[in-house]
Amino acid sequence: MNWSAEIQNWYLQHKRDLPWRNTTDAYTIWLSEVILQQTRVEQGMPYFYRFLEKYPDVTAFAHASEDEILKLWQGLGYYSRGRNMLTTARQILEKKQGIFPTSYEELIQLKGIGEYTAAAISSFATDEAKAVVDGNVYRVLARWFGVEEPTNSTNGKKIFQQLANEVLDRKHPGQHNQAIMEFGAMLCKPKKPDCHICPVREACNAYQTNRISQLPVKLKNLKIKERYFNYFLLANEHQILLNKRSINDIWANLYDLPLIETSAFVAVEEVVALPDFNRFFGNQAVIISTSSIQKHVLTHQRVFARFIHLQVNQTDVNLQPSWFYTSVASLEKLAMPKIIHRFLDQFYHEPARQTEMLFLK
């Protein structure tokens, strides 16, 4: 059985009509590949179109500000991808005169482009014989060959890259890569794969040994950290106090509200009694209301947040270096974590919330 040919035949009959498959433009392919990393196609598609419309080429992208990129990225998560893309675009503008490279060796030298992305761009744009290995490819290869080595182990990554190289159709590497990735996404799915219509199931090790649900193997060594954010809202219909997050924490360089982080959730009265609260807002601050606790799940962390509405004289607020007042109208231009954007959108646009409007004196 010509395994690659069978999967390519399946692909040509069943592939989704996706816009980045109808081009060999390296910039467009790069845009789609980075946006779709750790993002479902349905979620990423609108972002792809918005970015391509606003930044039609890498030069336009390179001239954008970080705030502009992060704002357009808002809601996709993994914001470091957007920041890395801006660095990559500026590198290409500076070192390649705005001409997006297409060879693997040139691409791999750019910051923010790893082995997978370099292989994808080079094979899709110029049919360079480089095998891509993403989550879908790991799954297909693990099941087909019956590989029990964890996909996220050092040895496992070497094994799967070697297997991907061995099965690569060197006459049609771009189509082969697209086919195996689509095969994993649409048919050889993580749960409930469609084995009954799989064209290569008779030679699939996992199918023959009834180990579909057991492969691929992945090491579960991820430790989840829980964090507790007490956010403070000081706002009126014209002005709001914001915080710009540091580059060294989650949501780097995004905008949220002033906060005090505690090691566990404590009563609001205990938050008010904290030295930092008094240092930030003085002893005359009045708590108008508090929100319910909201949970936000990240890859390595779980954030539990609550919003505390304050009424306080503006002269009593001890502005920290990262805090600043801005107009409510300017909020739509600032990139924020989803939990902050959702809260402020409700606060300013839901009629019921208007009765709770707080005022800076």
pLDDT class for 354, splitting at 50, 70, 90? very low
Q: Residues 181, 253: one domain?
A: no
- Residue 177: name the closest of 1, 52, 21 by CA: 21
Active site residues: 33
Domains: count for the chain: 2
Q: What's the whole-number mean pLDDT along residues 110-128?
A: 95
Q: Note the pLDDT tens digit of each residue in 40-74.
A: 999 999 999 999 999 999 999 999 999 999 999 99
Task: Give the mean pLDDT of the chain.
Answer: 93
CA 1/CA 8 separation, integer angstroms = 13
SS3 per-residue string spanning the chain: CCHHHHHHHHHHHHCCCCHHHHCCCHHHHHHHHHHHCCCCHHHHHHHHHHHHHHCCCHHHHHCCCHHHHHHHHCCCCCCHHHHHHHHHHHHHHHHCCCCCCCCHHHHCCCCCCCHHHHHHHHHHHHCCCCCCCCHHHHHHHHHHHCCCCCCCCHHHHHHHHHHHHHHCCCCCHHHHHHHHHHHHHHCCCCCCCCHHHCCCHHHCHHHHCCCHHHCCCCCCCCCCEEEEEEEEECECCCEEEEEECCCCCCCCCCEECCEEEECCCCCHHHHHCCHHHHHHHCCCCEEEEECCCEEEECCCEEEEEEEEEEECCHHHCCCCCCEEEEEHHHHHHCCCCHHHHHHHHHHHHCHHHHCCCCCCC
175 and 49 belong to one structural domain: yes
In a domain, 21, yes or no: yes
- Given a cut of 80, whether residue 197 has pLDDT beyond it is yes
Give pTM, 2 decimals. 0.87
- Could you tell me if residue 238 is inside a domain? yes
The CATH number of the domain where 45 resides is what?
1.10.340.30
| Beta partners for residue 227, in sequence order | 303
- Domain range for 338: 225-354
Residue 141 lies in a domain: no
In a domain, 205, yes or no: no
pLDDT tens digits, 136-174: 999 999 999 999 999 999 999 999 999 999 999 999 999
Is 236 part of a structural domain of the chain?
yes
Does 192 reside within a domain?
no
Mean pLDDT of the 314-322 span: 94
In whole angstroms, how large is the CA radius of gyration of the chain? 25
Q: How far is residue 120's CA from residue 142's CA, in Å, rounded to a whole number?
A: 20
- 236: its two tokens: 């009126």
* Main-chain dihedrals φ then ψ at residue 226, nearest 5 degrees: -105, 135
Same domain, 168 and 271: no
Same domain assignment for residues 161 and 275: no
Query: Angle at Cα 198 formed by Cα 192 and Cα 202, nearest 5°?
Result: 110
Contact 304, 229 (CB under 8 A): yes
**169 and 316 part of one domain:** no
Task: Determine how many CB atoms are found less than 10 A away from the CB of residue 154.
Answer: 9
Judge if 8 and 123 occupy the same domain.
Answer: yes
CATH number at residue 297: 3.90.79.10
163 & 291 share domain: no
Whether residue 170 sits in one domain with residue 34:
yes
> Which pLDDT score, from 0 to 100, does residue 356 have?
47
258 in a domain, yes or no?
A: yes
**101 and 26 Cβ atoms separated by less than 8 Å:** yes
For 241-297, the pLDDT digits (tens) are: 999 999 999 999 999 999 999 999 899 999 999 999 999 999 899 999 999 999 999
Q: Is residue 211 assigned to a domain? A: no
b/e per residue 36-52 (b: at least 16 CB within 10 A):
bbebeeeebbebbeebb
28 and 167 housed in the same domain: yes
Q: Which of 243, 227, 240, 229 is nearest to 344 (CA)?
A: 240
Beta bridge partners of residue 232, listed in sequence order: 308
Query: Inter-axis angle of helices 154-167 and 135-145, to 10 degrees?
Result: 80
Bigger pLDDT: 324 or 352? 324
Over range 105-134, report the average pLDDT.
95
